[in-house]
A and B are shown apart, each in its own frame.
Chain A
Amino acid sequence: MAKAKNAGSKAPKAKDGEVTLRPVSELDIEPVCAIDEKLSGKDRPGEWERRISYYIRRDPELSLVAVEGSRVVGFMLGEVRAGEFGLEEPSGWIEVLGVDPECQGRSVGKRLLEGLLAGFKARGCKAVRTLVNDIGQKELLGFFEAGGFKPTPIRTLERRS
């Protein structure tokens, strides 16, 4: 299982083409914006400033970026929560991920998932959860199913005004 390198001084330089994982930092806001822009077509700096600073504040060693050389090629952000929705046990929640389209098909997402799962396990989580939309996110659903995720009886309810 892939393991994230520790935060702090820079991780050792990776070999050419080698993808390594490290915890997300405040300097990753712009590279994550760039990946998101490639995927969504939108430039959303405020959104990523808010999100990344939130995850750094919560647990800066948990959420990860994948790095090739010095270039960020993917990210996966999540946190441990307990006591919400009647789920008392601490659970890992994977909340957002992205892989640079140029690097897709190279198991970057799989490496990130393995790294984040290892982080959740180290924090005592027995369950890891995420939400995927059946409509329009088939590929993402397949990604999580390949990672061992299964549908649960917990249902998302929504009311629109």
Chain B
Amino acid sequence: MENVRSSTLPKKYHDAVVRWGQTFLPDYQLLMDNWEKYFPHDKRHELCAYRQMGMCSEIECGDLKGKPKFDRASQMTPQLADHLLKAVKAQASTELGSIQQHQLTLARAPEEVDQFWVLRMMAEELRHGYQMFHVLLEDDWKSVSDVKGEDMVEEILQMRTGSHVLGAFNIDFDSFVDNIVFCAFIDRVGKYQLAMQKVSAYKPMAESMPPMLQEEAFHLATGVVPMRRWIQSAAKDEGYVSMDHLQKAVNKWYPRGLDMFGDERGGGSNVRMGLKPMNNAQAAAEYTDEMRQLLGDLNLRYLRARFPKLSRDEAQERLKRILEKGETVEGIGPENLLKLPHVSFFRRRGIYAYQMLDIEGKPVATVADLKKHLSSVLPEAYATARDMTKFYELMGKVVAGEVKAEDAVHVLPNLSRVGGVCPCSRAVRWVIDEPAKSNGH
């Protein structure tokens, strides 16, 4: 990376992240021991913060467009600092949260190469969390916020699956299919957030984004490439991952990806303040276009692998007949191919949150009917998980009028397993002050 400055956190914070990594990313050393085998010629991973120098120094959108970017927190209004700190906290939480999720099923990878790609991605997510801590700790926020950077770092390090800021990071992975589909669907939302924050009016945040985006591009490939391979194996009735497995994982993660953009009616204040160039609805719409393209490409690959004599044009024509006209051709119908759920399906944030709608966006009469429907379209292990039990309870209250949908959006997913204590050492805090120096006695 050219024109990039690297630095490390003060020792006690650096050590805290290393300790966190030893707990939640125990295979880090395995990755480093095998780096040259899987990633020959690539620069070895380092736990540090990178800042891209020479970026635009003027605010790029919103009411202050054209004014100089803020170098220091003290130059911002408390309102702007509050928005920014929330974004930094959410970003850091997602980076570390995904490591906790990936670790659950990492060892179940059918192929070693996929396992090492995911492992590298996890190490890079740790660096991204570190990067956000760097943004928090390098500045003094006390003139614009009651929140101390060091307290926020400790709070984020203590989060576990169930207590993270965004719903997608509070759901356990059930199989390695989740690792891969998560990379293709949820990391893609991450890419959007990073790309939008690249214009941030707060210069240290903007400068943090390009190196993170470079790494994020690999994370998306870590999801898409195995999906492409798996789908071609499934078409030939080979391999272990079926179209049904993939469709159910898509149904599980796409709604959470959409939720991550926030309420479709919101995001305008971030644009006005110069923190992001797009509102939530615009970004979510672009995301959906990309997901449609991905599934279209995957379906084309499926047909070409299943019917090798079809030319590309013939396969595309057949794809149209199957998906747009609903035809079954040589035994392949719409039910055999991947489909993106309706944007209103299974949502927990935004205008569609807690609506009684099925995967095509059609109304469902009762919670029992919805339960039956979701059980048939979600992965079995997930459909029977505690997250779903709580979802149905809440859905029942929304339908009965006991809880408003706009209040329900703040409740789930929120598992009981909440952090606060290091699971291995029983230490109370991750960030530990260094012991006072001995006076010689």
> Which residues of A come within 8 Å of B, CB atoms?
6-10, 23, 25-27, 29-30, 34, 37, 43, 45-46, 49, 52-53, 56-61, 81, 122-124
Contact = CB atoms under 8 A, between A and B. Distances in A.
12 contacts: A9-B192, A9-B195, A26-B220, A30-B300, A45-B228, A52-B221, A53-B225, A56-B221, A61-B214, A122-B2, A123-B2, A124-B2
A61 B194 CA distance: 15
Given A9-B195, A9-B286, A57-B42, A26 B300 contact: no
A9 B224 contact: no
Contacts of B221: 26, 52-53, 56-57
B218 interface: yes
A46 B304 CA distance: 13
Contacts of B290: 10, 27
A27 to B, nearest CB: 6
A60 B217 contact: yes
Interface string B214-232: 1001101101110011001
Contact of B301 (A23, A37, A45, A61): A45
A154 to B, nearest CB: 20
Contacts of A124: 2
Nearest to B283: A9
Interface in B49-66: none
A107 B52 CA distance: 32
Interface string B173-192: 00000000000000000011
Interface in B84-103: none
- Which 7 pairs show the lowest CB-CB distances between chains A and B? A8-B195, A60-B217, A30-B297, A26-B221, A9-B195, A26-B224, A53-B221
B234 interface: no
A29 B224 CA distance: 10
A124 B42 CA distance: 18
A126 to B, nearest CB: 14
Contacts of B228: 29, 45, 49
A37 B218 CA distance: 25
B148 to A, nearest CB: 31
Most chain B CB inside 10 Å of its own CB: which residue of A9, A37, A52, A58: A9
Contacts of B2: 122-124
Given A9-B196, A45-B304, 4 more contacts: A8-B191, A9-B277, A37-B312, A81-B41
Given A26-B224, A30-B300, A7 B286 contact: no
Contacts of B225: 26, 29, 49, 53
A81 B41 CA distance: 9
Contacts, number: 79
A34 to B, nearest CB: 6
Given A26-B225, A49-B229, A123-B2, A7 B217 contact: yes
B218 A27 contact: no
A60 B216 CA distance: 9
Most chain A CB inside 10 Å of its own CB: which residue of B39, B223, B301: B301
Contacts of A7: 195, 213-214, 217
B203 to A, nearest CB: 17
A152 B321 CA distance: 54
B297 A29 contact: yes
A56 B312 contact: no
Contacts of A53: 218, 221, 225
A30 B290 CA distance: 13
Contacts of A8: 191-192, 194-196, 198, 213
Contacts of A9: 192, 195-196, 277-278, 283, 286
A45 B312 CA distance: 12
B294 interface: yes
Contacts of B77: none
A27 B286 contact: no
Contacts of B232: 45
A30 to B, nearest CB: 4
Contact of A43 (B218, B223, B304): B304
B79 interface: no
A58 B191 contact: no
A25 B221 CA distance: 8
Contact of A34 (B214, B283, B312): B312
Nearest to B297: A30
B143 interface: no
Nearest to A81: B41
Nearest to B120: A57
Contacts of B297: 27, 29-30
Contacts of B300: 30
A53 B224 CA distance: 10
Nearest to A46: B229
A43 B310 CA distance: 11
A89 B301 CA distance: 41
A26 B217 contact: yes
Interface string B199-223: 0000000000000011001101101
Contacts of A123: 2
Interface string B274-304: 0001100001001001100110010011001
Interface in B291-344: 293-294, 297, 300-301, 304, 312
